[in-house]
Structure 1
Amino acid sequence: MTHQRSPASVQALTSGWRRYFPFLAIVRTYQTAWLRPDVLAGVTVFAVLVPSALAYGELAGLAPVAGLYAAVGAMLGYALFGSSRQAILGPDASLPLLMMAAIAPLAAGDMARYAALAATTALLAGAICVAAGFLRFGFIANFISQPILTGYMAGIALTVIGGQLGRLFGIKVQADLFFSQVLEVVQRLGETQLLTFVIGAASIALLFYGKRRWPRWPGPLLLMAATIALVTLLNLDERGVAVVGSIPSGMPQIALPRFSAGDFFALLVPSLSIALIAFTDVLVNSTSFAAKNKYRVDADQELIGLGAANIGSSLLGGFPVSSSSARTAVADSMGGRTQVVGLVAALLCVVFLLFLTGLLTNLPLVTLAAILIVAVWGLIDFAQLRWLYRVRRSEFWLAMLAAFGVLTVGLLQTILLAVVLSLLGVIARMSRPHDAVLSHDAAQDLFVEREIDPRTTDVELLPGLIVYRFDAPLFFANAPYFLDRARALIDSAEHPVRWFLINAEPIVDVDATAAAIFMEFDAEMDERHIQIAIARAGEPLRAMLDRTGVTERIGEAFFFPSLHGAIQAYEISATAAPPVSTPPAP
């Protein structure tokens, strides 16, 4: 007997495939009218990509062509698995230095091993992202706050600029940290290679001017063509201008990188850091352009897409990749509608690698340095830093600390410190959350919050009744603060307090430590003949209070679904018995 799938089961199966392979949905719904803008956008992305990919390959400590290998694998992988229609993935400035800090000590000067470790790092970061995507860990991007990410990116930008100063002046710099690099260049200015510096300075000026005057033109590509022609016509390579030299043509063999168990464990934590930074960057980029084009991206699918991009880069001998806001903006501005843009750009890169790499032999290295300096300058978000300084000074200094950490301590240490600082910042804010006492506006029948002022005794809603709202979950870090605030309110009240009513709507959870402190508070209030009551507790909170014994301790009768019901119950009890609350024990 043959069994046929029901239409419903077939639909569920195809829907599941489209969930993990978004490109299938694009193929199914693709319109021929989209092909022209997609191809045009792909050609433009390719023109912008080639010089930056070569520069980032050089920045990663590899042959410049490795940047193109990484770009091809990244664009193919993301186009098949990513959920953003505009995002273009490939080499960027934020990851090569982080990778270098991890693999350089392991390679110990062996360039073949260095290249294998670079590909291994991309493979591990990709595998981590794919696993996290299937486990629906898209929320991990929230582990790094925006101020810290802003500072981190600014630090990355300055680190890259510091690393290119020697190439800009034609000096072989020995220092490896930003401030020492700047100092060494200043001390050795007399050794400047004049032709190199003139080409570099002019290139930087032209790139900045071109971005402002002709933002849609492929400035870096035109600059590459001009400086290659200049070197070739004037034989500048014979006059001290360093050039890229011979670049092998063809595509690399598709293969997994070779690595040992020791390499795996040594690179696991750095790969996790790279995955976290890259995913944060990808999610910010893809959600921004999705909002602009009125659709939504799936954070978990973005993890899978990023993972596929890094695995693709690894298989071609590349290095860790992330999204490029500049190339994504180019794709969007040229009318790119779908992931076909990335496929077109990848195909053009393959053609270039097969037939046209000989054109790059006379490309000055200082041109790549200029392209890098201009590219990473955009990572310093001056507008965001000014906004932080104006709105929340503490987070501005947190951003500055992250930037300073990158410049002085190192990239790996700073990213771990950034995560810790972000979490500590959350805990610090939640340890002293906003709170208020409530009063009742009888004319509008509304409860109005009043800021707590330790200088006043006006804290009661009715004589003997305090209504208190604590705007955070109760947990070990803020439970003592809750206790101190409650005691202070009771002690400062004008009348003897009979009821302390908690508006529990914002308290969505209570941990074991907070529950124990809460029961201690209730016992103390019992001694003072003050009744604790709770209103508007949600179901998760009620369940937790039941499990920890708090409900039994307070009494089921003193839980109320609304503030009005609780106040009516208080008024009934107040008329039945006189107040008997006692002052705290000395």
Structure 2
Amino acid sequence: MCHTLRNYKKENIIPDILTGIIIAAVSIPISMGYSQIAGLPAVYGLYGSVLPIIVFGLLSTSRQFIFGVDAAPAALVGAALVTLGVTPGTEEAMQVVPVITFFTAIWLLVFFLFKAGKLVNYISTPVMGGFISGICATIILMQIPKLYGAGAGTGELFELMEHIAATVKDANMPSIVMGVIALVILLVSRRLIPKFPMAICVMAAGAVMSCFIDMDEYGIVCLSEVSRGLPSFIVPQVDVRMLPDILTVSLSVAVVIMAETLLAENNFAQKNRYKIDDNQELLAFGAANLAAAFTGCCPINGSVSRTTMNEQYGGRTQLTGITAGVVMIVILLCGTGFIGYLPVPVLTAIVISALYSAMEFDLAARLWKVSKVEFYIFCGAFLGVLLLGTINGVLIGMILSFVAVIKKAADPPRNFLGLVPGHGEFLALEKFKHAYPIQHVVIYRFSSNLFFANIATFQKDIMDAVDEETRAVIVDASAIGSVDVTAAKTLRIMYDTLADMGIKLYITEHIGQLNVQLRKLGLGDLIENGSVRQTIERALADCGLSSPYPLVGVHNSYHDIRRKRTDTMVQELVWAFGDDAEDVIERHIQESIRSMKNGADMEQIMSGFWSQMDIQDEDEWLEHMESHIEEIVRVTGEDENKIAEHIERRRKQLYERLEKEHPEFVERYKARRTRMDERLRKHNPAAYEVVMKLREKE
């Protein structure tokens, strides 16, 4: 509750309350008009701006967004009444509309329970911008006829243009003059004095003119007077015969409210650098619509036009919306007579100016310069909303976004890598003219996840690059986070094909989670036989190459590269086999002991498992061997001390190598050695005693 009012800052009180008053005043014509579009008497639009807006303000996490009777839900409900055979404005309509609102609220609460708000995370900024601009353009076209004395239009672009064409011939010139002058004043003041509440001044000026000028004489339409008093609470009565149709209509209305409002809320939140809880917003939508249903109103929605005005005049929290609701209560109790003095052209100009400023054509201009693809996505969403309606516009934008993502992923950045003398990294051969490939090795970086749409590109690049002199292909998979079934199948084919050519395929530099996927996809043997390595250098070492490396294209050129990596001391076996690393080592130890029966010695055994083993990996392997000393003695008949001495001698060599190559990790190694000795003491006390006695002699 009251998410945006916690730790409230006193300096926000004045702008929040002042903006709330403006919002309430501007809501009068908007709410009354949309209420009539939804098939209800005009006064129900004012009712929808009382309790629902207050409930939303108490539950919402958005600092700015304003809820109320709005275009899209009103139009959907109005169209649904015609389908249901209900005449707008009748008693039957006043019974059916709250039922639609009630089930709309239920659907929104269902969306809340299933956390459907996360869907908005899949909608990109160009889609959001096109969507908001499309809604603004649609509502402006709806409002234009009111500037010249006609009623508001409904529908999409063609219906709206048809309505304008049909009504413009009867345009009232005084209405046009009044509306255009008000619009110009608002637009100019927005640029020159953006924080000044010019909308209130223009509205007050219109009301004063109505007091001294007979507007009817000039054909200028004013708002209709409404009856005084607050809304009564009702219980929506469901006609069982209409229930299937009502459920369908209410679902479509709920989807529109969720998509339109969440998109717009996120757009304002991103622009003003704060976060909202999408799922909490769905709860606020549902609760507000329940309040609307029990006061007899049509479904309510987030209002882009009123939120834009809130942003313009400096509203900081939902105190703005709550204030607007309280002001509307005051108007309904004692100010309904004032409503009849408000000229419609002036109020329409206020709405149009707010909507005009919310259109994001500046974003479209930036996208045109930066990314033509994203510009076309913006245009697709914009035209989709304008031509086909809210949901269809969003769907078109999302489809275009996903097509762009797939297209980009299908043709990702990729390079063949080599070395530049004096540089410590592998670099793209195409970008660096002084980069040279390593002899008989193809190193290839692929900057995307591998899946059905791009695996053919991956395969073709590599197969085209190998020749009869190639001995290894090393894939820099640092940007590959996942592999799908199709890609795994192709990797298997590539691995076997290259093996038949005498070429070994390595996958390197990737995160350990990718190894889990490879095992699940049936490629675990690539890990077992060492074709999956942690770094490019280790893959090269497995090929028998160590720094300095022989380069192609430069006579007798060798280049030394030693990347200092913070993860050098991460166990490669753990990285490769994950939680199964212990079991893998133990299984190979058992295989090694069995091979000793056939005369294999320790050196042969170690060289047969995970060649180019990391220092810590080999140290752990030795620790496992130590725990099996008694078993090895039984199998080989060798002296226990001799076996332990052999293991300790190898461990000493590892320590000397560590001191030379990675002195910064010596202390960490000692601490780890202490832990492993303690583990050996617990699991095999006899072996521990032998090892300790041997170390004491040294």
Alignment correspondent of 2:625:
none
Alignment correspondent of 1:162:
141
Contact 2:419–2:438 under 8 Å retained in 1: no
Alignment correspondent of 1:79:
57
Deviations for 1:224-248, whole angstroms, at most 9, x for unmatched residues?
A: 3322332342221254222221213
Equivalent residue in structure 2 for 1:274, among 254, 257, 261: 257
Deviations for 1:502-535, whole angstroms, at most 9, x for unmatched residues?
A: 1222211112222222222223223322211111
Return closer, same or farther for 1:136/1:506 CA change in 2, 3 Å cut-off: farther
2:540 is the alignment partner of 1:563:
no
Return closer, same or farther for 1:274/1:325 CA change in 2, 3 Å cut-off: same
Alignment correspondent of 1:90:
67
Equivalent residue in structure 2 for 1:50, among 25, 28, 44: 25
Equivalent AA in structure 2 for residue 274 of structure 1:
I
Equivalent residue in structure 2 for 1:487, among 447, 452, 463: 463
Instruction: Count how many residue pairs are aligned between Structure 1 and Structure 2.
Output: 538
Query: Structure 2: how far apart are the matches of 1:326 and 1:450?
Result: 56
Return closer, same or farther for 1:496/1:271 CA change in 2, 3 Å cut-off: farther
Equivalent AA in structure 2 for residue 382 of structure 1:
F
Equivalent residue in structure 1 for 2:449, among 453, 459, 473: 473
Return closer, same or farther for 1:73/1:405 CA change in 2, 3 Å cut-off: same
TM-superposed CA distance for 1:389, in Å, is 0.9
Equivalent AA in structure 1 for residue 471 of structure 2:
R
Question: Which SS does the other structure have where 1:378 is aligned?
Answer: helix
Equivalent residue in structure 1 for 2:216, among 228, 232, 237: 237
Return closer, same or farther for 1:345/1:533 CA change in 2, 3 Å cut-off: same
Query: Structure 1: how far apart are the matches of 2:324 and 2:151?
Result: 35
Alignment correspondent of 2:125:
146
| 1:141-220 correspondence runs (5 A) | 141-171=120-150, 177-179=156-158, 181-182=160-161, 185=164, 189-220=168-199
Equivalent residue in structure 2 for 1:344, among 306, 323, 333: 323
Return closer, same or farther for 1:35/1:254 CA change in 2, 3 Å cut-off: farther
Question: Which SS does the other structure have where 1:466 is aligned?
Answer: strand
Contact 2:32–2:45 under 8 Å retained in 1: yes
| 1:350-499 correspondence runs (5 A) | 350-441=329-420, 443-451=422-430, 461-490=437-466, 496-499=469-472
Equivalent residue in structure 2 for 1:111, among 69, 89, 108: 89
TM-superposed CA distance for 1:256, in Å, is 5.9
Question: Which SS does the other structure have where 1:149 is aligned?
Answer: helix
Contact 2:429–2:437 under 8 Å retained in 1: no
TM-superposed CA distance for 1:202, in Å, is 1.9
| Stretch deviating more after TM superposition (510-519 or 251-260) | 251-260
Alignment correspondent of 1:543:
516
Equivalent AA in structure 2 for residue 79 of structure 1:
G
Equivalent AA in structure 2 for residue 110 of structure 1:
P
Alignment correspondent of 2:559:
none
TM-superposed CA distance for 1:177, in Å, is 4.4
| 1:527-538 correspondence runs (5 A) | 527-538=500-511
Query: Structure 1: how far apart are the matches of 2:401 and 2:96?
Result: 30
Unaligned residue ranges in structure 2 (runs of 5+): 549-698
| Stretch deviating more after TM superposition (102-111 or 530-539) | 102-111
Query: Structure 1: how far apart are the matches of 2:89 and 2:197?
Result: 32
Contact 1:73–1:310 under 8 Å retained in 2: no
Contact 2:215–2:222 under 8 Å retained in 1: no
Question: Which SS does the other structure have where 2:129 is aligned?
Answer: helix
Query: Structure 2: how far apart are the matches of 1:574 and 1:44?
Result: 69
Identity, % of aligned positions: 22
Contact 1:290–1:297 under 8 Å retained in 2: no
Question: Which SS does the other structure have where 1:473 is aligned?
Answer: coil
Query: Structure 2: how far apart are the matches of 1:498 and 1:47?
Result: 75
Query: Structure 2: how far apart are the matches of 1:115 and 1:412?
Result: 26
TM, length-normalised to structure 1: 0.80
Contact 2:56–2:287 under 8 Å retained in 1: yes
TM-superposed CA distance for 1:213, in Å, is 3.5
Question: Which SS does the other structure have where 2:419 is aligned?
Answer: strand
Which is bigger in relative contact order (C-alpha 8 A, separation at least 6)?
A: 1
Return closer, same or farther for 1:180/1:87 CA change in 2, 3 Å cut-off: closer
| 1:280-299 correspondence runs (5 A) | 280-291=263-274, 296-299=275-278
Contact 2:74–2:298 under 8 Å retained in 1: no
Question: Which SS does the other structure have where 2:530 is aligned?
Answer: helix
TM-superposed CA distance for 1:392, in Å, is 1.0
Equivalent AA in structure 2 for residue 403 of structure 1:
F
Superposition CA RMSD, Å: 3.6
Equivalent residue in structure 1 for 2:486, among 513, 522, 527: 513
Query: Structure 2: how far apart are the matches of 1:102 and 1:143?
Result: 30
TM-superposed CA distance for 1:328, in Å, is 7.0
Return closer, same or farther for 1:313/1:196 CA change in 2, 3 Å cut-off: same
Return closer, same or farther for 1:464/1:253 CA change in 2, 3 Å cut-off: farther
Deviations for 1:62-86, whole angstroms, at most 9, x for unmatched residues?
A: 55544443343444233332234x3
Query: Structure 1: how far apart are the matches of 2:443 and 2:282?
Result: 45
Query: Structure 1: how far apart are the matches of 2:333 and 2:229?
Result: 4
Return closer, same or farther for 1:257/1:223 CA change in 2, 3 Å cut-off: farther
| Stretch deviating more after TM superposition (117-126 or 39-48) | 117-126
Query: Structure 2: how far apart are the matches of 1:225 and 1:450?
Result: 70
Unaligned residue ranges in structure 1 (runs of 5+): 1-20, 576-586
Question: Which SS does the other structure have where 1:474 is aligned?
Answer: coil
Contact 1:55–1:64 under 8 Å retained in 2: no
Query: Structure 1: how far apart are the matches of 2:154 and 2:81?
Result: 15
| Stretch deviating more after TM superposition (114-123 or 243-252) | 114-123
Alignment correspondent of 2:226:
247
Equivalent residue in structure 2 for 1:264, among 231, 244, 247: 247
TM-superposed CA distance for 1:537, in Å, is 2.9
Query: Structure 2: how far apart are the matches of 1:67 and 1:490?
Result: 72
Contact 1:244–1:362 under 8 Å retained in 2: yes
Deviations for 1:96-137, whole angstroms, at most 9, x for unmatched residues?
A: 576458635535543356666665666556555554455455
Contact 1:157–1:376 under 8 Å retained in 2: yes
Return closer, same or farther for 1:117/1:559 CA change in 2, 3 Å cut-off: farther
Return closer, same or farther for 1:121/1:382 CA change in 2, 3 Å cut-off: farther
Question: Which SS does the other structure have where 2:444 is aligned?
Answer: strand
Equivalent AA in structure 1 for residue 437 of structure 2:
L
Contact 1:130–1:307 under 8 Å retained in 2: yes
TM, length-normalised to structure 2: 0.68
Equivalent AA in structure 2 for residue 220 of structure 1:
A
Equivalent AA in structure 2 for residue 347 of structure 1:
V
TM-superposed CA distance for 1:384, in Å, is 0.6
Alignment correspondent of 1:322:
302
Deviations for 1:432-470, whole angstroms, at most 9, x for unmatched residues?
A: 2222222234534222234589xx9x9973122122222
Query: Structure 1: how far apart are the matches of 2:303 and 2:198?
Result: 20
Equivalent AA in structure 2 for residue 321 of structure 1:
N
Query: Structure 2: how far apart are the matches of 1:566 and 1:555?
Result: 14
Contact 1:42–1:341 under 8 Å retained in 2: yes
Return closer, same or farther for 1:46/1:496 CA change in 2, 3 Å cut-off: farther
Equivalent AA in structure 1 for residue 489 of structure 2:
A
Return closer, same or farther for 1:184/1:269 CA change in 2, 3 Å cut-off: closer
Query: Structure 2: how far apart are the matches of 1:354 and 1:288?
Result: 37
